[in-house]
């Protein structure tokens, strides 16, 4: 029986390790940034749509930033959907210069339904648009956004995703963690796939869609993660999502763990729902057509289940190895010497700081400090050995951390200390994905949409 359990867990962890390695290898292709592409003259016309539900506090700023884009004014218009609002969202948006459409439908609530409703009105307008652009009411948009979108669309893409940045990274450790996650994903997930000519993923905001394609396929994406649903639909129909790394959309991140938990649980509910409906369809396309684009998309749809598998792998690891090092050590140490695991763990830890450094979101001194901090796996083992007690591990790791917290404060001041400390808390944020994912999968059939309140009145000139 013991041998059977060993073999089953070994196979399971091998599968988890293989998936982890797949994502890791792909991410390496994001470290390289291609030289600037050809700049095309402004040609595409855009209907820019802002989906808003009770957003009177922030809607003026997104409209203002869109009205100030460095793009011929005759080639774009700004529309706001005041969706089931009972505040002054419509009034504020009109005063800011947007064309406002008020929608009232209590039975079909959510961004996906609101967009589908608005697309139908765009199609029937006398004025023709080449593409629609989608934004959230809390966003701010870089002045070059449409020029970048025009460039990528003229290169042949019919759907293009922009760079989702953060407008409030320093508000709390949660906003910092969100920001790190998005900055890293932009570089190691989105740019990597762009470099490999795979399909990028629509991120829910800051993207454009060709109107003719939208009419042909229909929107039909009304679940809690309408962006993932529409991406799957595109891949099934032979389309790829392009990537515009320099078209920046600044998004307001939740301030508290509770707000973050609720938002991410909604994302995981949507992911699980889309996976149940699209995974096998996209996987079939990948197999039949030998399409790496479809295979990569299929694997992305099962992200909640991969996260859950990583969590289970972590538990198995801790039980079988009595070690706090992390998931997959059981598999790795069974196949390779322990030094391989240490080097692999160090590389994984430093990949995120490297991405942040390349994206100019981290200073050189902070990057060097984190490189030095990553030596803890070697330094502490020098004092306590490779098989320490739990108490010895906690005490030595605590002492090592205290030394580096003090160094960050003395060498980089309060701001540097805060970033370093919050960066370490990013690990806790990452671990919370496991219980959130469990909740999301368990509640995948619940389609209730919950509004995230936005209050940060930041203008484009302040980010």
What is the per-residue burial (b if ≥16 Cβ within 10 Å, else e) of 111-139?
bbbbbbbbbeebeeeeeebbbbbbbbbbb
My answer on whether 265 and 360 are in the same domain is no
443 is a domain residue: no
Q: Cβ neighbours of residue 27 under 8 Å, at least 6 residues apart?
A: 188, 189, 192, 351
My answer on whether 259 and 366 are in the same domain is no
**Spatial contact of 175 and 166, defined as CB atoms under 8 Å apart:** yes
Instruction: Report pLDDT for 389.
Output: 73
Lowest-pLDDT choice from 14-28, 62-76, 377-391: 377-391
454 is a domain residue: no
Domain that holds residue 76: 39-296
Lowest-pLDDT choice from 40-49, 63-72, 79-88, 388-397: 388-397
Instruction: Report pLDDT for 68.
Output: 95
My answer on whether 46 and 22 are in the same domain is no
pLDDT tens across 282-338, in order? 999 999 999 999 999 999 998 888 878 877 877 776 665 544 444 444 454 555 566
383 is a domain residue: yes
Last residue of a domain, one of 231, 263, 296: 296
Predicted confidence (pLDDT) at residue 255 exceeds the cutoff of 50: yes
Instruction: Report pLDDT for 326.
Output: 42
**Spatial contact of 30 and 188, defined as CB atoms under 8 Å apart:** yes
My answer on whether 333 and 240 are in the same domain is no
My answer on whether 79 and 213 are in the same domain is yes
My answer on whether 183 and 311 are in the same domain is no
Instruction: Report pLDDT for 305.
Output: 84
448 is a domain residue: no
Task: Check residues 380 and 194 and name the one with the higher pLDDT.
Answer: 194
| pLDDT band, residue 458 (cuts 50/70/90) | low
Burial of 191 (0-12, 13-18, 19+ CB in 10 A): buried
Instruction: Report pLDDT for 330.
Output: 47
My answer on whether 313 and 288 are in the same domain is no
Last residue of a domain, one of 276, 296, 316: 296
Lowest-pLDDT choice from 64-73, 245-254, 341-350, 452-461: 452-461
455 is a domain residue: no
**Average pLDDT of every residue of the chain:** 87
Residue 300's CB: how many other CB atoms inside 10 A?
24
Instruction: Report pLDDT for 335.
Output: 54
How far is residue 38 from each of residues 52, 133, 143, 154, 271, measured CA to CA in Å? 35, 22, 19, 10, 36
CA distance 295 to 95: 47
**Spatial contact of 133 and 208, defined as CB atoms under 8 Å apart:** yes
My answer on whether 168 and 315 are in the same domain is no
Please give the model's pTM, rounded to 2 decimal places: 0.88
Single out the residue of 113, 108, 8 nearest to residue 51, CA to CA: 113
Predicted confidence (pLDDT) at residue 459 exceeds the cutoff of 60: no
Instruction: Report pLDDT for 324.
Output: 41
Lowest-pLDDT choice from 14-28, 64-78, 447-461: 447-461
Say how many domains are in the chain.
2
Mean pLDDT of 1-17: 72
Task: Check residues 161 and 345 and name the one with the higher pLDDT.
Answer: 161
My answer on whether 64 and 121 are in the same domain is yes
Predicted confidence (pLDDT) at residue 257 exceeds the cutoff of 60: yes
Task: Check residues 146 and 431 and name the one with the higher pLDDT.
Answer: 146
Last residue of a domain, one of 247, 268, 296: 296
Residue 93 belongs to a domain with what CATH number? 3.90.550.10
CA distance 404 to 93: 48
CA distance 14 to 33: 32
Residue 240's CB: how many other CB atoms inside 10 A?
20
**Spatial contact of 176 and 285, defined as CB atoms under 8 Å apart:** no
Mean pLDDT of 232-256: 95
My answer on whether 406 and 257 are in the same domain is no
Mean pLDDT of 192-213: 95
């Amino acid at each position: 029986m013991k041998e059977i359990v060993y073999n089953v867990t070994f196979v399971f962890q091998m599968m988890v390790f293989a998936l982890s390695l797949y994502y890791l290898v792909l991410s390496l292709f994001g470290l390289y940034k291609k030289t600037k592409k050809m700049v095309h003259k402004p040609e595409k016309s855009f209907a820019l749509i802002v989906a808003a539900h009770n957003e009177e506090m922030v809607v003026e700023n997104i409209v203002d930033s869109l009205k100030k884009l460095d793009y011929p004014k005759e080639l774009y218009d700004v529309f706001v959907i005041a969706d089931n609002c009972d505040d002054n969202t419509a009034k504020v948006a009109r005063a800011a210069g947007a064309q406002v459409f008020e929608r009232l439908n209590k039975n079909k609530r959510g961004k996906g339904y609101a967009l589908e409703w608005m697309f139908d009105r765009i199609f029937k307008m006398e004025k023709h648009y080449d593409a629609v652009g989608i934004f959230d009411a809390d966003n701010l948009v870089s002045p070059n956004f449409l020029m970048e979108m025009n460039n990528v669309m003229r290169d042949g893409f019919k759907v293009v995703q922009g760079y989702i940045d953060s407008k409030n990274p320093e508000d709390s450790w949660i906003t910092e963690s969100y920001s790190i996650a998005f900055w890293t994903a932009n570089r190691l997930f989105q740019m990597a796939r762009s470099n490999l000519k795979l399909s990028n993923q629509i991120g829910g905001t800051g993207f454009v869609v060709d109107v003719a394609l939208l009419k042909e396929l229909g929107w039909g994406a009304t679940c809690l993660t309408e962006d993932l649903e529409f991406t799957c639909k595109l891949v099934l129909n032979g389309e790829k999502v392009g990537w515009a790394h320099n078209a920046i959309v600044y998004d307001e991140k939740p301030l508290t763990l509770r707000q973050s938990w609720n938002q991410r649980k909604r994302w995981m509910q949507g992911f699980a729902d889309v996976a149940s409906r699209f995974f096998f369809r996209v996987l079939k396309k990948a197999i039949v057509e030998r399409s790496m684009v479809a295979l990569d998309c299929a694997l992305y749809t099962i992200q909640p289940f991969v996260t859950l598998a990583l969590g289970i792998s972590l538990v198995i690891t801790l039980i079988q190895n009595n070690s706090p090092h992390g998931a997959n050590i059981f598999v790795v140490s069974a196949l390779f010497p322990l030094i391989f695991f240490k080097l692999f763990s160090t590389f994984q830890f430093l990949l995120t700081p490297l991405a942040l450094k390349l994206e100019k979101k981290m200073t050189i001194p902070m990057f060097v400090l984190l490189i030095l901090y990553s030596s803890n796996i070697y330094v502490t083992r020098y004092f306590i050995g490779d098989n320490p007690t739990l108490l010895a591990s906690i005490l030595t790791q605590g002492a090592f951390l205290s030394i580096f917290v003090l160094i960050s404060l003395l060498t980089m001041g309060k701001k540097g200390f805060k970033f370093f400390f919050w960066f370490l808390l990013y690990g806790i944020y990452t671990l919370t994905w496991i219980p959130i994912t469990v909740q999301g999968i368990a509640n995948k059939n619940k389609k209730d949409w919950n509004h995230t309140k936005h209050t940060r009145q930041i203008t484009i000139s302040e980010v």
